[in-house]
Amino acid sequence: MKVGMGRNWWLLAVRGVLAVLFGLYALLVPGMALATLILAFGLCMLLSGVLGLLAAMRVRDHNERSLPIALEAILCLAFGLLALLRHGAAALAWLYVISGFAFLSGILHMVGAIQLRRQFTGEWMLMVNGAATALCGVLMILLPWEGILALTWLVGAYSLVFGVLLVVVALELRSRWRSRTVRPA
């Protein structure tokens, strides 16, 4: 198992918990304004980007490949800043921004899963997560008006599932890391 991934399992778990909290917020407060959803999305993306950059730097410190992690972190930071600085943008424009982020993030998760295939038997969860994320992005682009009407619910449900899958992957990484670092006496 890659050392950086094993040691940084908790960063992935924190990102998953943030996504779960954001998903619950979006689902449990259905009357909130789209601007509030965009601001919450921006904050979560900024935090996720910072955590992703930390993970990429720690993985890189162990001379392991960190490009997919770093690219996703940069995307998170860019979309987070955009959401916070332009929160009054039209709903349709934000639908495309969020769907573009979901599509690109899903592709990067699938690339990461392919890279983990040799070291991690549970990589299929990350692959399913990436495919679901990319599909969510494509559906929002194909159904823009329906997407606007259901944006809060769709983003909330996606974020909840995404977060749970990230936590599952993080716990699996932790379990495998700990089993490799504990040596018999």
Q: What string of pLDDT tens digits covers the 185 residues of the chain?
A: 455 666 778 888 998 999 899 888 888 876 665 667 778 878 888 998 998 899 888 887 777 777 888 898 998 898 888 888 876 665 667 778 788 888 998 998 888 888 877 776 767 788 888 898 899 888 888 877 666 657 777 778 888 998 998 899 889 888 887 777 665 55
| Containing structural domain, residue 73 | 3-179
User: Any idea what DSSP says for residue 183?
Assistant: -
Its pTM stands at 0.55
Q: Do the domain assignments include residue 185?
A: no
Cβ–Cβ under 8 Å, residues 133 and 165: no
Q: Do the domain assignments include residue 24?
A: yes
Q: Do the domain assignments include residue 58?
A: yes
Name the 3-class secondary structure at 109. helix
User: Any idea what DSSP says for residue 18?
Assistant: H
Domain count, the chain: 1
